[in-house]
Structure 1
């Protein structure tokens, strides 16, 4: 029951991972403070594991956004910025890493043990002189679950037309050997898959997010798609059957102005 609750919280935070632009770029650098915004979305995430239960791929998720004087909450990321100008933000962040799985979710996972989500601490730099921007973040797990690290370099472009904002993005994601082996490695006790040890590798992401909110309206509507292409260290795993992953989100939120 506790594991299900933790995973539910992580999946709710996963809305931000559809594209960092949804929370990070759109509501941080050069945007000033933003009141608390709460909402509800429907998240679909097509996990790459063999024979993964389709009932586990979709879930209703809460949406949380907040930009204070220094503290911010952007879905799966919380942070404290110690430099925030019109074009540059430098922050210390905490971030959820991976959503894990229950070994009962697929026959291929049986005997491999349940995998818990991780939580990492690190830093993030976002540079956005105009509509085009760049972001780099790096975090290290502190939960003793994966004990892994992740670094993300991303480029994004923000297009605004009246109340509509559209942000496409592309990213390169490096994941350490501990991270990959925890979520995609296979132990000798696994019943339906050969043992496998994953090393560090690089994934690639393409995403697009759209947000609609009238200037005087409390209501915000959003939707997003993200496509991730996995490196060989993940696709060679004996519990993985897909070399890419699609995520999608639609949601509505209320801003407490």
Structure 2
């Protein structure tokens, strides 16, 4: 399994960290102000479209202040001078972006395929917060040129606190991938085609993601996280001869400490 794909799996748990954004209010009530560090440990298990399951445990370190957020796998630059309490803008770099890539030895169906790299993806983000729903938008492109692909993601979420210590965040997202991205990660080139694996050129598609994150405050700055999610792959991916599953599930568990 490629290093980038193993680290890419940490994104399944980075979703949990994103859920800490509203939960920071809970930590700040305990006296946290200005820049802060978050450290923790995440474990995840998730399906891949190629028929194998990813399982890994990864440490997590992140620093955030009013202007930027630095961690693994991404760096975010905030733009406070054009943002408000409800509407925010930013720039982001994802060092293990794209669809994660693969090596031919990751699954039997990939035997004879050339390796695909995860690449580095960068782009712009926008967020809108309201009393009813939080919306986020990200436009990303592969700046390494591995796939020359682009993607757009629109996500709706809503966080609320139950029983004082439990934060629940359901979310629903649509992710559009252009034909370059789909073709690179899920296409089959002429030299890779076999009698049982036809040549395939991917087309742009939309994946639908749904999930729910639970965050439980053990103490003032200690939180346990449980992230559950499912992804329905669009037809441009699902029709590929190297795709085994078009419905992918993931589960992640983590612990974080903010200081």
TM superposition score category, shorter chain reference: 0.7 to 0.9
- In the alignment, the residues of structure 2 paired with residue 106 and residue 122 of structure 1 have an alpha-carbon distance, to the nearest angstrom, of 31
Matching residue within 220, 241, 245 for 1:242: 245
8 A Cα contact 1:132 1:156, kept in partner: yes
Structure 1 residue aligned with 2:215? 211
Q: Residue 180 of structure 2: SS of its match in structure 1?
A: helix
Matching residue within 195, 202, 205 for 2:199: 195
- In the alignment, the residues of structure 2 paired with residue 33 and residue 165 of structure 1 have an alpha-carbon distance, to the nearest angstrom, of 22
Count of aligned residue pairs for this structure pair: 246
**What are the within-5 Å matches in structure 2 for residues 95-114 of structure 1?**
95=94, 96-114=97-115
Structure 1 residue aligned with 2:93? 94
Q: Report the CA distance between 1:19 and its aligned residue.
A: 6.3
8 A Cα contact 1:33 1:69, kept in partner: yes
Runs of 4+ with >6 A deviation: none
Q: Report the CA distance between 1:244 and its aligned residue.
A: 1.2
Q: Residue 179 of structure 1: SS of its match in structure 2?
A: helix
- In the alignment, the residues of structure 2 paired with residue 130 and residue 182 of structure 1 have an alpha-carbon distance, to the nearest angstrom, of 40
**What are the within-5 Å matches in structure 2 for residues 75-90 of structure 1?**
76-83=73-80, 84-90=83-89
CA deviation map 1:154-207 (0-9, x unaligned): 111111131211100111110011111111111222245111110111111101
- In the alignment, the residues of structure 2 paired with residue 127 and residue 74 of structure 1 have an alpha-carbon distance, to the nearest angstrom, of 23
Q: Report the CA distance between 1:23 and its aligned residue.
A: 4.9
Structure 1 residue aligned with 2:228? 225
TM-score (norm. length: structure 1): 0.86
Corresponding position: 1:67 with 2:29:
no
8 A Cα contact 2:218 2:224, kept in partner: no
**What are the within-5 Å matches in structure 2 for residues 23-62 of structure 1?**
23=20, 26=23, 33=34, 35-50=36-51, 52=52, 54=53, 57-62=54-59
- Mark the runs of 5 or more structure 1 residues left unpaired by the alignment: none
Worse-matched range after superposition: 228-237 or 32-41 = 32-41
- Mark the runs of 5 or more structure 2 residues left unpaired by the alignment: none
- In the alignment, the residues of structure 2 paired with residue 193 and residue 44 of structure 1 have an alpha-carbon distance, to the nearest angstrom, of 28
Distance change >3 Å, CA 126–CA 159, structure 1 → 2: same
